[in-house]
Structure formats: structure tokens, C-alpha cells
Structure 1
Amino acid sequence: MKETNQIVKKSNDLITAKYRLTIIQQYVLHNVISQIHIEDTDFKKYEVNVRSIAENHGIDTKNAYRYIKKSALELNKQPIIIGDEIEGIALNWFSSVRYNSNRGTLLVDFHPDLKPYLLQLQGYFTQYENKNIQRFKCVHSLRFYEFLKQKQNLGKGKEFYVELTLAEIRSMFCFSDSEYKANKDLRVYVIEPALKEIHEQTDLSITDTQFLKKGRSINSVYITAKPKTASKTSKNSDSSDSKQKTVEIPTNIVKQSENADVSDLQHRASKITGL
């Protein structure tokens, strides 16, 4: 059961909010968001067809229901924080999740406090086609894609850029103080794999990536992107026109060499995939 070309539309406050979800939780969430219609004034009960999610996102259908159901039920353990250290609000995604194993479906209700961020959006919002995020495997790719789509209109159909400090990235992704403590780890395990997937899988080309220093340390990443032409917009887009060389995943992260420690390689790969 394939999904139609559905649109995901969010307030920019939600794009830049602080939260942390697994890749499966992101798939479930955006499947539901894409069911909201522009004319809706209130949330409805939204049905999630688990087989459809599995097929569209390349998930093994054998254990898909158990895995996706578990991910959906745990979504509310990961609240969204909108605001800053001085003033903000913490919200849950769903007010309820009903499941029916016989039908292979979930029935979810968005938390009503999310209405200003998902309904009747007239300005200060970001939208994109759900098909562009369907094949992400890196847990961080979707959010970097949203950061870029948020700024795309500034390019007026041509190149545009996003600059994010490493502190902003750590905050928005809710990384603990011990995670990706070294800037090199944040670059290698988070930023570069995400940009590589975006360039290969979506309607955006990453044309340049610069890591900017403040003093002797990297302080921010400056990402230049542009919309792909219709002929290039596919998951197997040719990446030869990209000047970006920093987003190739080093082979020693995900491939086993003769002297590699298998458990160490699996740990490194899990940092990228989030699984």
C-alpha cells in the first residue's frame, strides 16, 4: 500500500524545537502530520497503516507491527520543548495511541496544545513532500532537511544557505553533555551522514559545506544548497555536481576491515542510524 504524494506542513517553531526521536518515530509522526488538511480547524483521529509505513520506508514487514507500535507508544516519552532557557513550553506529541493488531493499524490523537503549530498555518511555516524523507536511514537527516527547507524560499529557486552553530545543533537534538563531545564526532557521526543522505535522497542538492572556526575550534557549519531540477529529483540522484567532499561517510565507520573490532563497528554505525 503506497502513500500518495502527501505534504508535511509545520510551524517553524516546531522545526527549531528541541526534541529527540528515533528514525521509526519520525516516520510515524510524519505519516500522521501529512494527513492534516489545509482547511482543518481541529485535529481528527488519524489512522496509521503499519504495512504502508514499512513498505514506504524499507522496513522489514515481518516484525514491522510490533516494532512500529512500540515506537509509537514510546513517542510521548520524548517531549518537545519550544522556547529557550528563559521561557518555553514542553509538550507531548500524542494524547492517545490506540492499536489494533488484527487490522495492523494505529489510531492516534495529537495533543491539543499542538494546534497552533500544525493547524491553520498562515505564515512562518515550512512544508515539503513526504516522499522526500521516506528513505532516510540516518536518524539526524530529517531534521537537517527541515532546517534547509525552512530557508529554501530565501534562494528564490536558486542557491541558499543555512548556518548553524554546533551549540544549536546539540541543543535542538537534545544531545547529552557526554554525546558527541568532540566537535569532530559531531561532524563525522551527525552532520556529514545527514547531508550526504539529503543530497542523494531528496529534492535538494548540497553544493558546499564549510565548517567555520571561532579561534582554534570549529564553531558552526555553513551549508549551501539548491533545489534539484525535476530530472534529478530521485533517491538515486547523481552526486557528481556537488563540491561537497566532507559528507562522505568514512569507510571505517560502517565497513568492516580485516582487523576491525565488530562490536566497535556496530556501535559506530548505530550512532549514525539511531537504531
Structure 2
Amino acid sequence: MKENYVVTQGNNLIEARHKKPLSVREQKIILTMVSMINPTDEDFREYVISIKDFHEMLGLQGREKYTEIKTVVENLMSKVIEIPRENGGWLLTHWVSSAEYIQGKGSIRLKFVPELKPYMLQLKSQFTSYRLSNVLSLNSTYSIRLYELMKKWHHLGKWECSIEDLRGKLGVVEKIYPRYANFKIRVLKAAIDEVNEKTDLLIDFREIKKGRSVERIEFTIKHSVEKEVKLPISTEKPKKNDVNDDIRERLNLTAKGYHFDQSFFTQMYQGASLIWNDAAENELQMLIHYVNEEETVKNPLGFIKSKIKTAWDIHQDGFPITFADLKVSKRTTGRTEVIPDWFNERNTSKEETVATVVTEEYQEKKRALLESLGKSPEEIEEEMKDNK
């Protein structure tokens, strides 16, 4: 299982109420399937998970327990979710439409229901992304749901929710821990403790009372100090973290064999934002994915820069443009309008770019980051091979 996969979901799906909550095993199956979706996919594919990966993900011991796996999948197909609509309505749907065991290959083939397409495919804005490894390490269904909700709001640093809504979002069904004191100890505090211990977030909460009863919870969300202190010590004065830093980190996690330093990223993202506004990160993710898979691209940074330049030219002509259009676009405009300074610079030579793609400094920083994420020495060496 490639735990460096990225899970991306529409925010309405993150905020959904779990009417028939997923078990922790079922959640890991669903989120693994989500992580297999490519940014360029226009429709759901059939997602294949090996029995071996099922074993590791579900914590099964000994020989492949096909009967137990079948039971898990059957229960998964019965689970219902309530997704809020923009117009105030709601959608009730299942997660999975079909599941098939492939004889002779030792794998399970699953497919999402089509109703989930708007919340998983071709997302331009209003979505949340995180590394699959963060949720695979969690052992509680409430911890996984809390992590997703906190990840959605961590860029603001705070989130407030009523007790009733929080119960629905976490999947704490009616009659389970009806007294707040039990809900606080068995669900809320237990989930916060596990998320703080095992993921990249550090969460705290404050109770907001109405009279003597707790009515709402205010969460504070930060990056985990325990993880941050494991990064290499720098003599430079630390810079204040912002949303763009998070975006650069996510793009670098997606990139294979190359790296966006601060200077390159700042100019790249400035240009992309002028073209695509709020959808800039999503378009860049699709561009990076294409570069990763396309063997003919020998100069990743130069290729990305040239594609954004082409997109800017077409954008300046007043035409809407997406990365899907760029893959086949050969159009040039010859326009003379002022464009961002980055686009006016001479093209970087292959030798200059490749020399900066994978530096020793970047390798050291990535190794430190992987260690901070709790990777074993064997996993770290496997990850580092991708950048050699």
C-alpha cells in the first residue's frame, strides 16, 4: 500500500453526516479507494486492492481470511451517508456500488456509486487533501472522522460546532453515549488524543456552555509540535506559516524526482492563481501528475513553466483554459501585453534545471520529514528511491 497517496474530497463530503457509520476498517477501505483517484479522472474507475493490502490495512493475522474480508465488504455496501447540498437540501447515498473478488489474482475490485462523482472527481475548489498515511495509522472510526474535519479547518486554526452536529459528523449514532460526560471521555477526548499522537495535527478544545449544559465545542488546530521539532535545525529566523506553505508542501509530496523550492513555487503559484483563481492548486496537481506519469518529460520544472506560460497566453486572449486543454494545446498567440515577470525570463536550460531538481539539501529535508511522519527506516529508503 502506497501510504504517500493523497486523499482529496469535496468539503461537503467531509462535512457529511454518517447515518450508518463506517467502521474503522470500512473507512480505511473507502479512503484508500479515494487516494487511487487521479486528478484528471472524469469518471470513477474500478479500484483494485490486493488481498495482501487488505490484510495489512484491516489488521488481519495469519492466512488470508477470505470469509472475513467478504463480510467486511458486504457491510460496507450497506452503509449510508447524508451529504448536505448547497441549496439547503441533502443527498442520501451508499458508498460502494459493487465489489468483486478476482479469482487467481488475490485482489478485490470495488467501485464507488455515481452519486459521489461531484465530491471526488475534477474538484476545482472547496476540497480538502491529506496524506493517506495519517488515517491508516488511526485505530478509531471517531479519530479518522475528527482528523478529516480538523484538516478541513486547520488553515483557519479554529472551528466551532454544536454537540448535536458534531455527533452526526463523527458518526456517533443515537443512543450511543447519550450523556455528554460519556461522549466527552469515550469519543471526543479519546479521538483528540489519538490524532495528536499519530498525525500531523495538534488539537485542543474548549467547551461553550448555555446555562449549565455544554452546547458547543470550539476546536483549536495546529501543526504538531512533536513532528515539527524533528525537522533539521536552521540558523535562519523561522517564517510564519501560511496557506501557501501548506500548498507548496502538498505539491512537493505529489512531485516525483523534482522539488519546488520557495522561489520557484512562489512565482509558479502566482502565475497559476492569475489564470485559475481558487482552482490553481487543483490545476497544478493535475499538471504535476501528468509530469510524473509522462516518460517523455525530461525537464519537469521547465515543462511545468512552459505549460503555465501557454495557459497565460490563452487566458490573456479571453478564453477559459484548464490543464486538460493544455495537454493537447499547440496554440501560440504572439500577444505583447505585460505578463508576470516569471514568464518574461529566458527559458531555463535543461542543465540548469536538472541540476536543481534533486539536491543533497532537499534529500536531507525529505528524509527528516519522513522521519517526523513516523516512517520506518525501510519505508524511508523506499521513499527516497523515487528521487534518485
When normalised by structure 2's length, the TM-score is 0.55
Cα shift at 1:55: 2.2
Distance 1:63 1:217, change over 3 A: farther
Conservation of the 8 A alpha-carbon contact between 1:51 and 1:61: no
1:231-275 CA-to-partner distances (Å, cap 9, x unmatched) read: 274359xxxxxxxxxxxxxxxxxxxxxxxxxxxxxxxxxxxxxxx
Q: Which has the larger radius of gyration?
A: 2
Q: Does the 8 Å CA contact 1:147/1:162 hold for their aligned counterparts?
A: no
Partner of 1:194: 191
Deviations 1:185-241 (A, max 9, x none): 1111111111111001101122x32222111011122221211327274359xxxxx
Q: Could you tell me how far 1:165 is from its partner in structure 2?
A: 1.5
Q: Give 1:109's aligned residue.
A: 111
Letter in 1 for 2:40: E
1:171 paired with 2:168, answer yes
Q: Which amino acid aligns with 2:50?
A: N
Alignment of 1:77-226 (within 5 A): 77-83=78-84, 87-100=89-102, 102-154=104-156, 160-206=157-203, 208-226=204-222
SS at match of 1:181: coil
Is contact 1:24–1:68 with CA below 8 Å preserved after alignment?
no
Q: How far, CA to CA, are the matches of 1:200 and 1:194 in structure 2?
A: 10
Identity %: 29
Contact 1:3 1:56 in 2 (8 A): no
CA shift in 2, pair 1:223/1:59, >3 Å: farther
Of structures 1 and 2, the one with the larger relative CO (CA 8 A, separation 6+) is 1
AA aligned opposite 1:71 = V
Give the Å deviation of 1:139: 1.8
The structure that is helix-richer by fraction is 2
* Matched AA of 1:123: S
TM-aligned CA distance change 1:176 to 1:32, over 3 Å: closer
> Is the Cα contact below 8 Å between 2:28 and 2:57 reproduced in 1?
no
**Does the residue aligned with 1:140 lie in a helix, a strand or coil?**
helix
Distance in 2 between residues matched to 1:4 and 1:139, nearest whole Å: 18
Contact 1:55–1:61 under 8 Å retained in 2: no
CA-based RMSD of the aligned residues comes to 2.2
Say which SS state the counterpart of residue 191 (structure 2) adopts.
Answer: helix
Number of residue pairs matched by the alignment: 228
TM-score, reference length from structure 1: 0.76
Structure 1 window deviating more from structure 2 (68-77 vs 110-119): it is: 68-77
Q: Deviations over 1:30-84 (max 9, x none)?
A: 1111000011111111101232243256443545543333212221211111128
Given the superposition, is the C-alpha separation of residues 108 and 14 from structure 1 closer, same or farther in structure 2, using an over 3 Å criterion?
Answer: same
Answer whether contact 2:11 2:128 (CA < 8 A) is retained: yes
State the 1:101 CA deviation: 5.6
The 1-side partners of 2:184 and 2:153 are apart by: 21
- Stretch moving more, 165-174 or 36-45: 165-174
The runs of 5 or more residues in structure 1 that have no matched partner are 155-159, 237-275
Please state which structure has a larger fraction of its residues in strand. Answer: 1
> Using a 3 Å threshold, how does the CA distance of structure 1 residues 57 and 130 change in structure 2: closer, same or farther?
farther
Contact 1:57/1:135, CA 8 A, preserved across alignment: no
* Alpha-carbon offset, residue 169 of structure 1: 1.6
Asked if the contact 1:200/1:235 (under 8 Å) is kept, the reply is no
Whether the 8 Å CA contact 1:209–1:224 is kept in 2: the answer is yes
Q: Is the 8 A contact 2:146 2:170 kept in 1?
A: no
1:234 aligns with 2:230: no
Q: Show CA shifts across 1:119-165 (max 9, x none).
A: 000100101000111121112101100111001222xxxxx122221
Checking the alignment, whether the CA contact within 8 Å between 1:203 and 1:234 is kept in structure 2 is yes
- Structure 1 residues 65 and 194: CA distance shift in structure 2, 3 A: farther
Q: 1:27 to 1:65 in 2, by over 3 A?
A: farther
